[in-house]
A and B are shown apart, each in its own frame.
Chain A
Amino acid sequence: MSTVSWITARGLFGRRRFLMLLPLPLVLVALAVLCRSLGVDPGQWGPPVLVGLGLAVVLPVVALIVGTGVLGAEIDDGTVVHILTKPLPRWQIVLPKLAVAVGVSAATVAVPLYVAGVLADSVRLGLALAAASALGALAYSALFLALSLVTRRPVLLGLVYVLIWEGLLGNFVSGTKVLSIQQWVIALADRMAPTELLSTTVSVPVAGVLTALVSVGFTVLAIDRLRSFSVAGETS
């Protein structure tokens, strides 16, 4: 484990904000268990729990908390200066931090989605949801990590993207779905385990290409922005 990822992980798990990650996945699993034990038809509870809660809320919110936490929190409290005053190429700082963010988000989201998928349909759907949400965690993390370098309010901007763009506009303006990480995850999961429970208008190739583009593009942006990282002066 590199020193950067070690410090990042220590910082992430040491902050109280990290505890906010726990309730959402627990609610997801609890709802799935409850519906299954009450014998509710999976066609009824599957879409709202798996997509409405799992992919539309748990995945982006967890990725937002973690993705803005790995670098944004250090920028906020100024400790980032200790890592930046080292003769490291900036990609050697961004990539380990991104790896920690993706790993933590994917683990936090994929496990409950796997459980819920198995309860709703099959092991295959569980695995598909876990794999697709891990890819989604990569795209979201790259986006939110880059956001913490281009704005002072990454959490707010990230919430606007998740709630307004993906959540609200996605329901009314179907064109916005093409640029929605949530829809890509649904398309990819549906491709891996075709089921009635998942539906989207975005095609699988588009989803795959855009997921890769967003992941790489925002990572490159983050590396470039970190090269020009300025400490705000007292006089500014």
Chain B
Amino acid sequence: MTTLSASPEAAAPTAAASTLDLAGVSRWYGNVVAVNDVTMRLGPGVTGLLGPNGAGKTTLLHMMAGFLAPSRGAVTLDGEPTWRNPGVYRRLGLVSEREAVHSFLTAYEFVLASAKLHRLPDPEAAARRAIALVEMADAQDRRIGTYSKGMRQRTRVAAALVHDPQVLLLDEPFNGMDPRQRLHMMQLLHRLGDAGRTILFSSHILEEVEQVSGTVQVMVAGRLAASGDFRTIRRLMTNRPHVFAVRSTDDRALAVALMAEVSVTGVELDRAGLTVRAGDYGAFTRALPKIALAHGIRVRQLTPEDESLESVFSYLVEA
């Protein structure tokens, strides 16, 4: 298991920054362990919670948000448990993955209701401010049922932000958004993070995290596989050995020739063809045609074998 040193993003310090702490948190359903002994501390700035589907991200987020009791361990916000403690919602906002909104309300009514439920001193002003923050003012008087997916998502974010929480948790916030909406949401998360808010969002898509977050927590199969600076982790991922299936007019001769190539770390020969391990994806794919040409061999097939996200993540666990 790789645990890189976490480097919290430099954020403008605010008076009342909040810290979300997970200490040895596990959650199981019967015999199935969904989250396994996770310890992490989230401070101001944007953090990405990254992992393939089924890694336990949503379960972890639900425990952070007080919607699930940890089977073992403790989740605390500034020292207070989040489970069975509605008081934490003064400082915490949640945008869940499930796209459920009261579709019979307008965005303004919906956000205003949230402000009133928070007992804010001036709910109308708070609702207008939150709606302006997500740039939904133009459509605020239409029923939510008539919105596009991205608009509904922004409305939900506005409702979660209406009380200006110190901590905002978002479960897969970019799902179903078009590129422009994504960019807009990312900018919003950055602004909040830079202002000293603790922002955590989950995603199963590497590129989403790359654009938003400097700090990531990577979950694989219920465990925290890596945590720290995204660029370092990304380098670890891209420098891992790549496996290719190669078929050619003369596999044996090609195998001999490939062993001389620096980027190749191993070659296996069997009836189906060659299995080539390469340390550097780019260098190998550039070198292969040249080597084949030089030896008069025709390459019939070249397929990368383990490009699924799961294999990228599980490489981290083994590293």
Contact = CB atoms under 8 A, between A and B. Distances in A.
B182 to A, nearest CB: 22
Interface residues of A, number: 29
A89 B94 contact: no
B87 A231 contact: no
Contact of B87 (A4, A79, A87, A236): A87
Interface of A: 3-4, 6-7, 10-11, 14, 77-79, 81-90, 227-231, 233-236
A7 B113 contact: yes
Contacts of B212: none
A132 B107 CA distance: 41
Interface string B90-106: 10111010101110110
A233 B100 contact: no
B224 to A, nearest CB: 16
B160 A230 contact: no
Mostly, the B contact residues are: mixed
Contact of A233 (B58, B88, B118, B160): B58
24 contacts: A3-B117, A6-B113, A7-B113, A11-B102, A78-B100, A79-B100, A79-B101, A81-B100, A82-B101, A82-B102, A84-B67, A85-B93, A87-B89, A89-B86, A228-B69, A230-B69, A231-B62, A231-B67, A233-B58, A234-B59, A235-B29, A235-B32, A235-B58, A236-B32
Given A10-B105, A83-B117, A227-B84, 10 more contacts: A3-B113, A77-B100, A81-B94, A82-B114, A85-B89, A86-B118, A87-B88, A87-B89, A233-B59, A236-B32
Given A10-B104, A233-B59, A235-B32, A78 B90 contact: no
A87 B84 CA distance: 11
The 5 lowest CB-CB distance pairs between A and B, nearest first, are: A78-B100, A14-B104, A86-B117, A231-B67, A233-B59
Contacts of B110: 82
Contacts of A83: 117
B56 interface: yes
Interface of B: 27, 29, 32, 34, 53-54, 56, 58-59, 62, 65, 67-69, 84, 86-90, 92-94, 96, 98, 100-102, 104-105, 110, 113-114, 116-119, 159-160
Contacts of A78: 96, 98, 100
B282 to A, nearest CB: 36
Contacts of A235: 29, 32, 34, 54, 56, 58-59
A230 B68 contact: yes
Nearest to A86: B117
Nearest to A7: B113
B84 A228 contact: yes
Contact of A79 (B65, B89, B90, B102): B102
User: Which of B27, B56, B86, B96 counts the most chain A CB atoms within 10 A?
Assistant: B86
B46 to A, nearest CB: 20
Contacts of A7: 102, 105, 113
A37 B116 CA distance: 53
Nearest to B115: A3
Given A7-B113, A81-B67, A86 B86 contact: yes
Contacts of A14: 104
